[in-house]
Structure 1
Amino acid sequence: MVEAIASQNPEDHCMNQKTKEKTISRRSMVSRGFTASAGLITSGLLPTAHGILPATPKIRIGQIGTSHPHASGKLAAIRGLDDIFELVGVVEPDEVQRQKIADKDVYRDVTWMSQNDLLNSNVAAIAVETQVSQLVPTAMQCLTAGKHIHLDKPAGMSLPACRAMHEQAKQKDVTVQMGYMLRYNPAFALLFDIVKKGWLGRITEVTAEMGKLANDSLRQELSEFSGGGMFELACHLIDAMVTILGRPEKITAHNRSSYPNKDSFLDNQLAVFDYPHAIATVRCNHIDPFGFPRRHFNVVGEQGTFQINPLEPPKVSLALDRPRGNFKKGFQDIEIPTSGGRYDAEFEDLANVIRGQKELAWNSEHDVTVQESILLASGMELSPNSLPIQQNNDAK
């Protein structure tokens, strides 16, 4: 299992998918000969085309929860990959919530089950899509029952609970796949592969941002989290940053609430991550009217740069100080192949793991480091028994 890609360096809410959507990503990458896909499948960062997977037996899977912002999209991915998965049922104990979503296309004709019935069934895997506060407690019940899990982000609000969850998975010999969606974005898969090969040289800088314009309803909803948008949204960026650079030495959090008379939501945030040879910055701004198209992730090394802007659908600019593989010296725009559904690759990869064809490329140590970094970057507290990364917190 990989740790931070940097250690292998020689120098050191939208876009829900309909059930009928099918993945075209990995197979089309190979058949169409996209330059950007070269090396990604063999690197293990993208799953093989799901058509290559055995058609039978299908993997029996269920879903617990429908309240997470990604819940309907994840279920659409599962139902769309019906040559891989057999959806056994969905759990939603809140009757009001179930009535609210029952007529949506993705939930039509599903079998509604109790949580006990699903846990006691012969499903191999469960997607956990509850409210954030219930993600880890629900995950623990699934792991105790011996089920592989896909756990949506972030991994709760407690670092010790996150650690305990991964320990339980280890004891039960099952997989925790975190739902950080950028892991399987083809632009990020290419970035991870290029960094792993050392083509950018030693990494010195990462700058990243995810924002949106939150209405009053969303602000109220996100006020539940003391860490604001950095905790709930920018966690995707922090996961990608840790994939490249590993565990930071120090994190400085700058958090602002722009409308304290309205709510307590931290809507304008910046976190600075200090590394021995690099400085990374992650921003999250929920008062940005052009937040979605401005989302970006840029990496600077001593021998090149890699820029993704926007993140979805991704556009990539690569600059190299010398030719590397099929890429020339200097600046170049890289055509990124069209993937299938937003979450298809996550579940294709999980299928490969469950079938014993590979190990997940992000291990428990990585996931715990990400959780620690998210909490500190959001200005949230760690357990007093933890040995945390050095933290500075500037909250207003």
Structure 2
Amino acid sequence: MNNPHFLTRRHWLATLPAVATAAGQLCHAAEKPRLRIGQIGTKHAHASGKLQAILKFPETFDFVGIVEPDAERRAAMANRDPYRRVTWLTESELLSTPGLQAVAVETDIPNLVPTAVRCLKAGKHIHLDKPAGESLDACRAMHQIATDQNLTIQMGYMLRYNPAFQFADRIVRDGWLGEITEISGMMGKFMNDGGRLELAKISGGGMFELACHLIDQVVSLLGPPDKVTSHLRRTFPEKDTFADNRLAVFDYPKAIATIRCNHIDPMGGARRQFSITGTEGTFEIRPLEPTPKGRLGLDRPRGEFNKGYQDVTFESPTGRYDAEFMDLASVIRGEKKLRWNAEHDIATHEAVLRASGML
């Protein structure tokens, strides 16, 4: 492997000026008023991680409290970190808190969009975890409310803030890879019996709940697909109805994208990967997290990178969700616009539903 490149923080900021790191924003946070924020829900798979990220930046966020309408769940979580450190509220108490500006919506999937709508109608910006419910029409209606009230919906697609994916986005838009002809990705894990039963309750299963992160990246790079074809296998029909091995094919005029989601993968997260190939080069990310690694192949020199293959190594993010909440703070303060607009989020959701066999 010739000519490895390490993107230092200085190089990283120079290479991607549109995206500020959480660390870079934090140094100015003490100079600005704190943003009042709360959270509704503890049942989403990312709920505790999102709360930890918010609490990590007390200079930026004034965390008001958390809501969990399920009394049994609330009792079970109250003495666990990070929940033991926060105030428990009812939804009406939270939404009527003076000065509240934003809410992180972290309920179970069926309640994500209804909860988000109530927050928007109360005049709050929202961080909404993924995916945006099981209905395309409800997703559209939710975004219309936000647009009408000039409020922000930040979707919780965490890979948007992953440095390797941000690098990929930049080099594609700068034409380093030429015309994109192929994207492929895989996001799997080994799911235990209890998890299988939970995911089986959603017809879209793992493609809907997990691989949506990669589908968001496909739509970001190539736009809405012309056609989506969903394939699935139920490996253990005698055990449950969970479609644990799935493939979706996204057709474009000059490109084909494929996304796999395998929940019987014994290597799990370590094998998650994403690659983009065009007429002039290719870029591969593996692993995706926690410290992503890239492999860039070029048919000619680009910037400081040489013709041929070379490694691209990125600094470890300070936390999985840190950058997205610092970005949300900048958006709410009016310092920037959220890059991913309603049109993109709706297109992503339609692609997720079609890939999951739900449309």
Place the TM-score, normalised by the shorter chain, in its bin: over 0.9
Letter in 2 for 1:149: I
Residue 149 of structure 1 aligns to a residue whose secondary structure is: strand
Instruction: Please list, as runs of the form range in 1=range in 2, the aligned pairs for 1:13-92 lying within 5 A after superposition.
Output: 32-33=9-10, 35-40=11-16, 42-44=17-19, 48-53=24-29, 55-92=31-68
Letter in 1 for 2:192: N
Give the C-alpha shift of residue 52 in structure 1. 2.6
- 2:221 maps to 1:252: no
Measured in 2, the distance between the counterparts of 1:36 and 1:272 equals: 33
Q: How many aligned residue pairs are there?
A: 350
Measured in 2, the distance between the counterparts of 1:324 and 1:36 equals: 16
Residue 66 of structure 2 aligns to a residue whose secondary structure is: strand
Q: Which structure would you say has the larger RCO, counting Cα contacts within 8 Å and 6 or more residues apart?
A: 1
Letter in 1 for 2:267: F
Measured in 1, the distance between the counterparts of 2:229 and 2:155 equals: 25
Measured in 1, the distance between the counterparts of 2:20 and 2:29 equals: 16
Measured in 1, the distance between the counterparts of 2:51 and 2:233 equals: 35
Residue 297 of structure 2 aligns to a residue whose secondary structure is: strand
TM-score (normalizing by structure 1): 0.86
1:323 matched to which residue of 2?
Answer: 301
TM-score (normalizing by structure 2): 0.95
Measured in 1, the distance between the counterparts of 2:119 and 2:21 equals: 26
Please say if residues 292 and 316 of structure 2, whose CA atoms lie closer than 8 Å, have aligned partners that are also in contact: no
Give the C-alpha shift of residue 222 in structure 1. 0.5
- 2:263 maps to 1:268: no
- 2:331 maps to 1:353: yes
Measured in 1, the distance between the counterparts of 2:207 and 2:285 equals: 19
1:390 matched to which residue of 2?
Answer: none
Please say if residues 13 and 20 of structure 2, whose CA atoms lie closer than 8 Å, have aligned partners that are also in contact: no
Measured in 2, the distance between the counterparts of 1:136 and 1:250 equals: 26
Please say if residues 178 and 281 of structure 2, whose CA atoms lie closer than 8 Å, have aligned partners that are also in contact: yes
Measured in 1, the distance between the counterparts of 2:340 and 2:20 equals: 10
Give the C-alpha shift of residue 37 in structure 1. 4.7
Give the C-alpha shift of residue 36 in structure 1. 4.7
1:123 matched to which residue of 2?
Answer: 100
Give the C-alpha shift of residue 54 in structure 1. 5.1
Q: What percentage of aligned pairs have identical amino acids?
A: 57
Please say if residues 251 and 274 of structure 1, whose CA atoms lie closer than 8 Å, have aligned partners that are also in contact: yes
1:375 matched to which residue of 2?
Answer: 353
Name which of 117, 120, 123 aligns with 1:140.
Answer: 117
Deviations 1:159-185 (A, max 9, x none): 000000000000111000000010001
Give the C-alpha shift of residue 65 in structure 1. 0.3
CA RMSD of aligned residues (A): 1.3
Q: Which runs of 5+ in 2 are unaligned?
A: 1-6
- 2:312 maps to 1:334: yes
Query: CA distance change for structure 1 residues 37 and 320 in 2, over 3 Å: closer, same or farther?
Result: farther
1:310 matched to which residue of 2?
Answer: 287
Give the C-alpha shift of residue 367 in structure 1. 0.3
1:219 matched to which residue of 2?
Answer: 196
Measured in 1, the distance between the counterparts of 2:111 and 2:345 equals: 18
1:107 matched to which residue of 2?
Answer: 83
Measured in 1, the distance between the counterparts of 2:208 and 2:321 equals: 21
Instruction: Please list, as runs of the form range in 1=range in 2, the aligned pairs for 1:149-168 lying within 5 A after superposition.
Output: 149-168=126-145
